[in-house]
Amino acid sequence: MNFKIKSMISKRKHRAVHEQPAGKIFLQWDDQTCKLIGKKKTENRGTAIVFGMYKFWTIVGVYISFLLRINRFEKVIFLYTDEGLYDPHKYGSLCKSESYRKEILSYLDDLRMIQCVPVQKNINQYTINDEYREWIEEQSRYDASYICRKEKILIDKKDRLIYQHRVERNTAALFSFLALIENAAMPVVYMPNGRLMESGVIRRICQKRAIPYVTYESYGTDNRSMFLSKNKACIDLDISEIWEKIKEVPLTQEQNVWMEKLISNRHYPSRLIHPGKNYIDRQYHEVDIDAELSPHIKAFLAESGKTALLCGNVTWDSQALGKGIFYKTTVDWVLDTIQFFIDEHPEWKLIIRAHPDEKRWASEDRLSELIEFKLKSVRHRILIISSSEDVNTYRLISHANVALVWTSMIGCEIALRGVPVMTVADSHFRGKEFTIDTATQEEYKNQLTQAMNGNIGTLSIEETDLAKRYYYAFLNSISHDLGFIWRPDRWSYSYLATYPLENDSLFVKQLYELVI
């Protein structure tokens, strides 16, 4: 072992020994809140209920709770779970639960300025009616898919453990939340994501009872970015309200230059000194658009014939899971599309591009493997490009007569280039007037036939310009720079202590503008 590595290990050990538990920062925030409340008048806006789950969102939730207490609400209740995150590679197990309790949760009882309430596991005063049972079961299947990292769970000895545990946790969260809101005056709810885990059932209660709520989700590491949404799950990435106000406004020269630079970065990631990691400038590819292709891909692209490009999602990701309209799963859609090409139009070419992030997230679902397993053999006019192959997806666009997408943002970027894009799922860009939105399998196949036969041409200048304006609006409105860097590698006391509460006025402003 060389000296440099030994030195790094020694420093890490030293930090580990002397680093205080992250939860200790709560006591410091509590003291700051007490002092700041004394300096300003708190507006009585009713009761804020903040929900936190697991280590990361508990820290974020406590932070938000103090901000709300300082600046707006007379009473803030922090509802939290007492278990750690799942380890998808150890089915049914929970990783670092004891550490989470010791380093984070043990400090909550000592806080004075916010009321901390754990999710109760045994709440007997409520009856699980049919509607609640349906919510819990649906949410638990969704959660199990996400945890297992596959779109369709099998209720066998592995998946069932996680599914049953999620039923227990979601039931407890639902009834704990019901108990809280019974006595809460004018409640406003703040929670992460809005679709995943316990937040999913809490969101449903808010919707049913018309309780205003805000959802938030971190995205990005280098930048201080977070999604924020009012009365909807932020992970749906819906900017419809904003879009309706600005869709007729042309981009400025400066904005067009910004877009050109973004597209260039997508095409040539190797030219970037520091590749982005936030939602706007993150790079999904490791190779440039003109990188050398493997012989079989090069040969396929050189063949004559009309071509459709199908771009997949990470099947279990919350931006794709459960978004189907007339196909239940992305795999059902892909397999049916392949069969349609084989049976009805063997003269056509079909390129299926798996999402590059399958590899990054160690997905249990690998689109190329699922296709090969289900179909056993695939005709020569169909090319399947796995997530592990070094191909820049943007290179494939120039070969396509039409593109087929589930919810992947590549749909917007393909439309920028004038290629017709067909959507088959509930993507955020569906219905924005630059995609072909199909509502049934029959319509999907009819429209696909029309496009491949040349009856649906390339997008007009007006349509490509609309796609460009939407893409710009989306990237510049979906996430917010909130002044605090929510980095998983910075959940330490020493890092958190560098961000006193009074410095986060921008965060506070944007949180309030959504509700008040």
Range of 52-66, 198-212, 268-282, 332-346 with top mean pLDDT: 198-212
Q: Residue 514: is its pLDDT beyond 60?
A: no
Predicted TM-score of the model (pTM):
0.84
379 against 336, higher pLDDT: 336
Distance CA 189, CA 46 (A): 11
Residue corresponding to tokens 């409340």? 37
**Which of 193-197, 206-210, 456-460: highest mean pLDDT?**
206-210
Tell me which of 197-201, 225-229, 427-431, 447-451 is least confident.
Answer: 225-229
Q: For a pLDDT cut of 90, what percent of the chain falls above it?
A: 34
Would you state the pLDDT for residue 359? 66
Tokens (6 digits) for 102: 């010791």
Q: Which is higher by pLDDT, 207 or 95?
A: 207
Least-confidence region, from 22-31, 89-98, 215-224 = 89-98
Residues 6+ apart with CB under 8 A from 102: 21
Query: What is the residue whose two structure tokens read 């809490």?
Result: 202
Q: What is the mean pLDDT of residues 96-101?
A: 68
pLDDT mean over 409-423: 93
Domain boundaries, the chain: 18-237+478-513, 247-477
CATH of domain 247-477: 3.40.50.2000
Interval 291-308: pLDDT, tens: 888 898 999 999 988 999
Contact 500, 244 (CB under 8 A): no
Among 88-92, 144-148, 423-427, whose mean pLDDT is lowest?
88-92
Q: What is the pLDDT of residues 264-290, one digit of tens each?
A: 888 888 777 655 554 555 556 678 888
CA gyration radius for the chain? 25
Q: What percent of the chain has pLDDT over 70?
A: 77
Going by C-beta distance under 8 Å and a sequence separation of 6 or more, which residues neighbour residue 173? 81, 119, 198, 201, 202
Of residues 230, 212, 262, the one with CA closest to residue 471? 262
Of the listed ranges 83-87, 183-187, 390-394, 433-437, the least confidently predicted one is 83-87
- Are 75 and 50 spatial neighbours (Cβ–Cβ below 8 Å)? no
Max Cα–Cα distance, the chain, nearest Å: 76
Q: How far is CA 73 from the centre of its chain?
A: 29
Between 46 and 510, the more confident residue is 46
Can you list the positions of beta strands (E) in 62-121? 75-80, 115-118
The rounded distance, in Å, linking the Cα atoms of 293 and 260 is: 25
Angstrom distances, CA of residue 104 to CA of 67, 77, 100, 496: 18, 17, 5, 13
Res. 12: pLDDT tops 50: no
Instruction: Note the pLDDT tens digit of each residue in 212-268.
Output: 999 988 765 444 567 788 899 988 888 888 899 898 999 999 999 989 988 888 888
